[in-house]
A and B are shown apart, each in its own frame.
Chain A
Amino acid sequence: MPPSERLRLEHVLEMVSALEAVILRSFGPEGGQVLFTRNTGQAMLSRSGTRILSALHLEHPLARMVVECVWKHSRATGDGSKTFILLLASLLRMISKAISRELGASHTYGFTEAAKAAAAPHLANKLLELASSDLDDLVAVNVVPYGFCLSLEDFTTHRLLLASFFHTRVSHVHCSYLSELTCEMLNRWKHKSDLPCVSLQFLSDNFPALHTPVSGFPVSSSRLIEGQVIHRDFATARLPNKQQPVKAAVFTNYMQPVLLGPGDVLKVGYGDGVTEQNTMVHFSAWTERSLESVIAKLQSLGVSLLLSAVKQSDAALALATQAHMSLVECVSEEELSLFMQLSGVTPVSRGCTIQAKHVAALSFCRPILLGAHRYVHVAFCEAAETCELNPCSLVICGPGEEQTDQYICAIRDAVCMLMTTWEPKHTSEAAASHGTVQSNKSPASSDMTTQSTANEPYVLKKCVLEPGCVIPAGGTFEFLLSKALLNSSLPSVSQLLANALLSVPRQIYSHSPKLFLQAQTRIMSLVQNPSNSVRLKESTSESTVDLGLESVACKCQLILAVVQCATSVLRVDTVLHAHTALHTRSKKHTNSSQDSTEDEEED
Chain B
Amino acid sequence: MSRVVKKTPSVCTDMPLNNAEVCAKLHLMKELLRSCYGPTGRLKHIRNNIGGRVTTSSSSSVLLPALSSSQPLLNLIKSSILNHISRFSDCGLFAAIFCLSLLEHVRQHELRENLAIKVNKHCLSLCTSYLQREDCACRVKVNFCSSQNLMTLAGSIISSKPACLLTEAEKHHISTMVVRAFLQTIPCSTPGPVTLGHTVTVTIVGLRVLDSAVFPGLLVEMYDPFDQTDSSSGPLRTVLFSTSLAGDLAELGDGTIEVDPDVDTDLQVLNQLLELGKQLVEDEVRLCVCQKVIHPVLQQYLRSHGVVVLERLGMALMEPLSMLAGTQPVATLHARILSTAYGRVKNLSTKQFGFKTMLHLQPEGEAAVCTMVLCHRNETMLDELKVVCQKAEHGLRLTLKEPSALLGGGCTETHLSAYVKHKLFLLLQGQQEASESAAGLGCSPAEFLLGVKVFCRSLDMVARSLEHDGGTSVIDLNHAHHWTVSAGATKEDMVGGLGLCGCGLVENSPSTKWTFLNTEYAEFCPAPLLGDSCRKPTVLDSFTAKVNALQVAVETANLVLDVRYIIEDVN
Binding site for B on A (CB under 8 A): 22, 25-26, 30-39, 41, 43, 45, 52, 55-59, 171-173, 215-220, 237-239, 242, 258-270, 274, 279-281, 283-285, 287-289, 292, 313-315, 317-319, 321-322, 371-372, 398-403, 581-582
Tell me the complex Cα distance, A264–B14, Å. Answer: 64
User: Is B80 part of the contact surface with A, judged by Cβ < 8 Å?
Assistant: yes
A218 touches B548 (CB 8 A): yes
Known contacts A43-B75, A43-B76, A270-B260; A279 and B268 CB within 8 A of each other: yes
Known contacts A35-B73, A268-B259, A372-B87; A322 and B567 CB within 8 A of each other: no
* Inter-chain contacts of B118 with A (CB < 8 A): 172-173
* Inter-chain contacts of B523 with A (CB < 8 A): none
Known contacts A35-B563, A36-B568, A55-B10; A268 and B249 CB within 8 A of each other: no
A582 touches B254 (CB 8 A): no
A268 touches B334 (CB 8 A): no
B566 touches A32 (CB 8 A): no
Tell me the complex Cα distance, A512–B253, Å. Answer: 73
Tell me the complex Cα distance, A189–B12, Å. Answer: 42
Tell me the complex Cα distance, A237–B84, Å. Answer: 27
Known contacts A32-B563, A269-B259, A292-B335; A582 and B243 CB within 8 A of each other: no
Q: List 28 A-B residue pairs with CB atoms under 8 Å apart, sorted by A's residue number.
A: A22-B12, A33-B562, A33-B564, A36-B567, A37-B566, A37-B568, A37-B569, A38-B569, A55-B569, A57-B10, A59-B7, A171-B558, A239-B195, A259-B255, A260-B252, A263-B254, A265-B256, A269-B260, A274-B263, A279-B265, A281-B334, A288-B250, A289-B334, A318-B328, A318-B332, A322-B338, A372-B86, A399-B555
Q: B203-245: contact bitstring with A at CB < 8 Å (1 yes, 0 no)?
A: 0000000000000000000000000000000000000001100
Known contacts A57-B8, A269-B262; A315 and B80 CB within 8 A of each other: no
Number of chain B residues whose Cβ lies closer than 8 Å to a Cβ of chain A? 79
Q: B285-303: contact bitstring with A at CB < 8 Å (1 yes, 0 no)?
A: 0000000000000000000
* Inter-chain contacts of A372 with B (CB < 8 A): 86-87
* Inter-chain contacts of A217 with B (CB < 8 A): 87, 548, 551-552
User: Is B143 part of the contact surface with A, judged by Cβ < 8 Å?
Assistant: no
A582 touches B4 (CB 8 A): yes
Known contacts A261-B255, A274-B263; A400 and B556 CB within 8 A of each other: yes
* Inter-chain contacts of A313 with B (CB < 8 A): 251, 331
| Inter-chain CB contacts under 8 Å: number | 245
CB distance from A236 to the nearest CB of B (A): 9
Q: B455-478: contact bitstring with A at CB < 8 Å (1 yes, 0 no)?
A: 000000000000000000000000
* Inter-chain contacts of B555 with A (CB < 8 A): 218-219, 398-399, 403
CB distance from A559 to the nearest CB of B (A): 27
Main secondary structure of the interface of B (DSSP, over half): mixed
Tell me the complex Cα distance, A219–B556, Å. Answer: 11
Tell me the complex Cα distance, A448–B265, Å. Answer: 94
B567 touches A55 (CB 8 A): yes
User: Is B426 part of the contact surface with A, judged by Cβ < 8 Å?
Assistant: no
Partner of B565, one of A35, A216, A261, A285: A35
Q: Which residue of chain A has its CB nearest to the CB of B75?
A: A43
Partner of B9, one of A56, A239, A279, A315: A56
A45 touches B338 (CB 8 A): no
Tell me the complex Cα distance, A123–B8, Å. Answer: 35
CB distance from A160 to the nearest CB of B (A): 18
B568 touches A26 (CB 8 A): no
CB distance from A215 to the nearest CB of B (A): 4
Within 8 A of A (CB), among B393-413: none
Tell me the complex Cα distance, A315–B333, Å. Answer: 9
Tell me the complex Cα distance, A45–B564, Å. Answer: 11
